[in-house]
Amino acid sequence: MEKKNLDWANMGFGYRKTDKRFVSTFKDNKWDEGALIEDDMITMSECACVLQYAQTCFEGLKAYTTADGRIVCFRPDLNAQRMFDTCARLEMPQYPVDKFVEAVVKTVKANEAYVPPYGSGATLYIRPYMFGINPVIGVKPADEYQFRIFTTPVGPYFKGGAKPITIRVSDFDRAAPRGTGNVKAGLNYAMSLHAIVSAHREGFDENLYLDPATRTKVEETGGANFLFISKDNKVVTPKSDSILPSITRRSLMYVAENYLGLEVEQREVYLDELTDFAECCLCGTAAVLSPVGKIVDHGREICFPSGMEKMGTITQKLYDTLTGIQMGTIEAPKGWICEIK
């Protein structure tokens, strides 16, 4: 298979059409077999449920080339399970977990020419998604759905290394108590757009969202979970029912405990205690891990001792170990790496 002639190292994080995408249709109460198709356009009714009532959800994962030249993706079964859970919450038909993983493998295989080479920093981003497609005007779930997967090659998330970022405490909330914050619904992102655009306008990289009920506890950012490192090297992550269960975060907590021998803790984290931590980072599929140097709470600056120049020591160890596992230079826990062949 010949690779596409793309400038892998200088690609941005944007959409670029690839050759094939997977489509399966839910109709008459069942999913069809699904197929790989070439057409990247979707035609639907002006009254499609997704357009009127935002009945849509998604997942995100990556395929990449390991040090020894295999094409793999990372824990796709967890993305499958999370979409399964999301669909239950949004009254959408669940796509079977094993079929989801099969479809991911097939779609990556069909776009193998777009999987960036090892060492380029680029990856093939995989976007599974589902939406209600038949006309719905009285508010109710759709009867017909499409489950789709497309892929797009994306450049390194951080060009020239990950510099610590600055985050502000947002005045907006991301999710309601007992709302949809813990599922990957498109609507969670629609309502975060205003907050992120205004944060950028004011010179911040991201928003820290507080728990909406008491606004005293740390939840997450618009698309990444938090990890904090205490001064005695404990890895702490916030616990809340409205945080999206990040696969990267769950993997990093496992790595911290089982590879680095660190103590880990998932508990409520109060805004008031952030000054006690030594390091802070965000985690998610896109960047794996981004160090946070500073959190600004309405003019009050919380500066982490790790500073604004580089990742903290523990953060760096977590990053190196997880990316080593992903790239095949460190042995992975059983079932974490899914080879595309």
Ligand X SMILES: *Cc1c(COP(=O)(O)O)cnc(C)c1O
What is the set of active-site residues?
Answer: 184
Q: Residue 115 or residue 244: which is nearer to ligand X going by CB?
A: 244
Q: Residue 92 or residue 136: which is nearer to ligand X going by CB?
A: 92
- The region, left, alpha or beta by phi > 0 then psi within -120 to 50, assigned to residue 160 is left
Q: Residue 20 or residue 184: which is nearer to ligand X going by CB?
A: 184
Contact present, 212 and 115 (Cβ < 8 Å): no
Contact present, 151 and 76 (Cβ < 8 Å): no
* Smallest gap from residue 246 Cβ to ligand X (A): 3
Q: Residue 144 or residue 220: which is nearer to ligand X going by CB?
A: 220
Taking CA atoms, 309 is separated from 14, 245, 306, in Å, by 27, 29, 8
* Smallest gap from residue 8 Cβ to ligand X (A): 22
Alpha-carbon dihedral 201, 174, 15, 114, rounded to 10 degrees: 130
Alpha-carbon dihedral 84, 57, 95, 48, rounded to 10 degrees: 140
Q: Residue 290 or residue 306: which is nearer to ligand X going by CB?
A: 290
β strands within 105-144, DSSP E: 123-132
* Smallest gap from residue 338 Cβ to ligand X (A): 15
Q: Which two tokens stand for residue 6?
A: 């793309």
d(CA 34, CA 76): 18
Residue with tokens 């009285």: 138
* Smallest gap from residue 30 Cβ to ligand X (A): 28
Q: At what angle are helices 76-89 and 97-110 packed, to 10 degrees?
A: 120
d(CA 145, CA 50): 9
d(CA 167, CA 218): 12
* Smallest gap from residue 121 Cβ to ligand X (A): 18
* Smallest gap from residue 285 Cβ to ligand X (A): 3
β strands within 108-202, DSSP E: 123-132, 145-154, 165-169
Q: Is 267 exposed, middle or buried (0-12, 13-18, 19+ CB in 10 A)?
A: exposed
Q: Residue 86 or residue 146: which is nearer to ligand X going by CB?
A: 86
d(CA 188, CA 77): 23
Q: Residue 130: what are its φ and ψ, rounded to 5°?
A: -145, 145
* Smallest gap from residue 317 Cβ to ligand X (A): 18
Residues near ligand X (CB under 6 A) are: 60, 184, 220, 223-225, 244, 246-249, 284-285
Q: Residue 120 or residue 242: which is nearer to ligand X going by CB?
A: 242
